[in-house]
Amino acid sequence: MTQKGLVIVYTGKGKGKTTAALGMALRAVGYNHKVCMIQFIKGSWHYGEMTSSKRLEPEFELAAVGKGFVGIMDDKSPIEDHKKIALEALRMAQEKINSKKYDTIILDEINYAVNLGLINLQDVLDLIVKKPGPLNLVFTGNYARKEVIDLADLVTEMREVKHPFKLGIRARKGIDF
């Protein structure tokens, strides 16, 4: 008997949402499960997981689709460009989900993409409702919508208690990216 796949949400303003999803991916690969992670926002910057994920192939696949963080730091791209790329990531997610090749699909920063208006909430809800039964879907990013939370099986909210950035300590390789 095939188990029902779960819908898992990591949200909140605290650090660790993507890291929690990557931990789950690492665990799944240990059982030879096929995992795909699609990054909706982080695509233009280099992150450690872009390199380390190659060591987990062929069981783990990472697609960094986004153009980088939207409207902050060095972002000079028009919002329309971000929307176009986010729609490409959404289409890719639909294709990967429909392929039935994966045990788990992680949609990294998809909650934030909805919050920014890059993709429609209804399209995200459709991913959940239409997912194949045994597939696990993982959604990360702050600002998870109530409708997504209501459909999820597991929701974890990361809450910041203390962060080194507030003391002027910049993000560090291997810790933050």
Domain boundaries, the chain: 7-167
Structure tokens at 37: 């992670």
- CA distance linking residue 171 with residue 10, whole number of Å: 21
Average of per-residue pLDDT across 156-164? 93
Q: Which residues, at least 6 apart from 78, have a Cβ–Cβ distance to it below 8 Å?
A: none
The phi and psi torsions of 174 (rounded to 5 degrees) equal 85, -15
Q: Which residues, at least 6 apart from 155, have a Cβ–Cβ distance to it below 8 Å?
A: 8, 9, 11, 144, 149
The phi and psi torsions of 56 (rounded to 5 degrees) equal -95, 0
Structure tokens at 138: 């993982």
pLDDT band at 64 (very low <50, low <70, confident <90, very high): confident
**Strand blocks (E) in 12-127:** 35-39, 60-64, 104-108
The phi and psi torsions of 82 (rounded to 5 degrees) equal -65, -40
Cβ contact 33:58 at 8 Å: no
Residue 162 has pLDDT above 60, yes or no: yes
Structure tokens at 31: 């059982």
pLDDT band at 67 (very low <50, low <70, confident <90, very high): low
pLDDT at 59: 97
Identify the CATH number of the domain defined by range 7-167.
3.40.50.300
Residue 171 has pLDDT above 90, yes or no: no
Cβ contact 25:102 at 8 Å: no
What are the angstrom distances between the C-alpha of 167 and each of 163, 170, 171, 175? Answer: 8, 9, 11, 16
